[in-house]
Amino acid sequence: MQFDTSSGIFKICEWLYRLALLNMLAIGFTLLGGIVLGVFPAITAMFALNDKWMKAEEFPVIKEYWKVYKQHFVKSNVLGGLILVTAVALYTDFALVQNFSGILYYLILSSSATVLVLSFIVLLYVFSLMIKFPDDGLMKQIRRAIQVSTLFPLQTIWMGLSLLSFLFICWVMPGIAFLFLGSGLTFIAMYFSKFALKRLDKYNRLPFDGRLIEERGVLHGE
């Protein structure tokens, strides 16, 4: 008896197997890095493998995961450090703002909220951009992430809603979280990011020297 490997059911099962395996690898390599130093390289490696699978590439999964994990170990942990520092700063701001009143209260609250939104937007794209442009500096990739979100606001909103919906499903059904939490989130983010990355290829990388582009009715100066 032969299975039709081109059928929709087979493809779904294949992706479920891939994502479950990827999630287990992420857990293992996170522990390998002592959790603190392992989690962000593990996330980056999940993005890289999801990207390759979406391109229908064939490769040894564990070997490729280890390769990407090592390649992006330092940069991923620098990004992780920035994320943790930003999170602590935002938590402190939101805790202290309760002690202020009047115009100062609204100024601090609005500035903290702006940083929170920008940080969330950066997280949506920055790991995908690290895979797309591995040789670029981290700050350039962060600026590019903000720029891409401005070019594609509706996509950014849909990506955020999809990620939050998946997180809710994982919260309701912990079994799904154990098998697919990390790999599922990175798959969703990479899936939405690929549209923007294809558009970036059109411009042969976006410039960051103050010259911006006009795209989709949004003026970015020149």
Q: Domain limits at 193?
A: 8-202
At residue 182 the predicted structure's pLDDT band, cuts being 50, 70 and 90, is very high
User: CA-CA distance, 177 to 170, in Å (whole number)?
Assistant: 5
In a domain, 209, yes or no: no
In a domain, 102, yes or no: yes
Average the pLDDT over each of 56-70, 101-115, 161-175, 181-195 and give the range with the smallest value: 101-115
User: CA-CA distance, 149 to 131, in Å (whole number)?
Assistant: 17
Exposure string for 103-122, b = 16+ CB within 10 A, e = fewer: eeeeebeeebeeeeeebebb
In a domain, 216, yes or no: no
Single-letter code of the amino acid located at 57:
E
In a domain, 59, yes or no: yes
Instruction: Annotate 123-140 with DSSP letters as a single string.
Output: HHHHHHHHHHSTTS-HHH
In a domain, 197, yes or no: yes
DSSP conformation class of 218? B
7/20: higher pLDDT: 20
Q: Which residue has the tokens 């079994």?
A: 175
Total number of domains in the chain: 1
Q: pLDDT (tens digit, 9 = 90+) per residue, 85-122?
A: 999 999 888 888 888 877 888 888 888 888 898 899 99
Q: pLDDT (tens digit, 9 = 90+) per residue, 184-216?
A: 999 999 999 988 777 766 664 545 444 444 444
In a domain, 129, yes or no: yes
Q: pLDDT (tens digit, 9 = 90+) per residue, 34-58?
A: 999 999 999 999 999 999 999 999 9
| Nearest alpha carbon to residue 37 among 74, 90, 85 | 74
Residues counted in the chain: 222
In a domain, 185, yes or no: yes
In a domain, 149, yes or no: yes
